[in-house]
Structure formats: C-alpha cells, structure tokens
Amino acid sequence: MAVHLYGIRNCDTMKKARTWLDAQGVDYVFHDYKVEGADAAWLRGLVDKVGWEAVLNRAGTTFRKLPEAERSGLDAEKAIALMVAQPSMIKRPVLVAGEEIRLGFKPDVYGALFKG
C-alpha cells in the first residue's frame, strides 16, 4: 500500500506523525507544502472525498489573520483557492494510505489503520 504524508516539515503535529510512522516502520513519501506547494487538482480531489470543511484549518493563525471578507462566504472553490495560495491553511497532516485518508494525527487512529 502506497502511503503519502502531506504537511509542513516544521509543524509540531507533523513531527509527531512522522516520528510515529518512523517508529512503526511505515514507509511513506512526505510532501512538504512549503517546498512543493499545494496542487489545486489534488486539493479538489481531497475536498471531493472528505469535504472542504474538514480540510480547511480554520483554527490556525493563517486563517484567523485573513480579512473578514476572505473568511466569509466560503464554499469549496473559495476554500481551495485559499489553501493553494497559503498551504498553512490545510489541516495537518493529511495521510493517504491506499484509498484511506486521515486528517490530523492521533496515534490510536494511525494504529488502527496500520495494524498487522
């Protein structure tokens, strides 16, 4: 099963997820948004599967600092445009393991996904 981890290298939650995956011996490909960017087509596919509300990190500083006009009237296309422009607004990490997608990091959720 191909495993891809998407996020930002220096994010504390990302560090925890990567440490957990490494400790469990899970091979994965890491995509750093700060280095490689966030692809609109990939984000659209992710949003189609889990919904833009789950993917957009509204709790983060980057989103909260946006002018009210940019934060209001959100829909999938506007959210995708915001996330492409500022990948820090994407919930982290995004783990894609085969057809499975997990947003955020919780050891028990990862454990259930990668159990024997």
User: 110 an active-site residue?
Assistant: no
**86: its two tokens:** 């500022």
Q: Are strands 29-32 and 3-7 parallel, antiparallel or unpaired?
A: parallel
Q: What is the DSSP string of 66-92?
A: S-HHHHSS--HHHHHHHHHH-GGGB-S
Q: What residues form DSSP beta bridges with 86?
A: none
**Calpha distance 62→99 (Å, rounded):** 29
Catalytic member of 5, 8, 11, 14: 11
In the DSSP assignment, the letter for residue 56 is B
* Catalytic residue annotation: 11
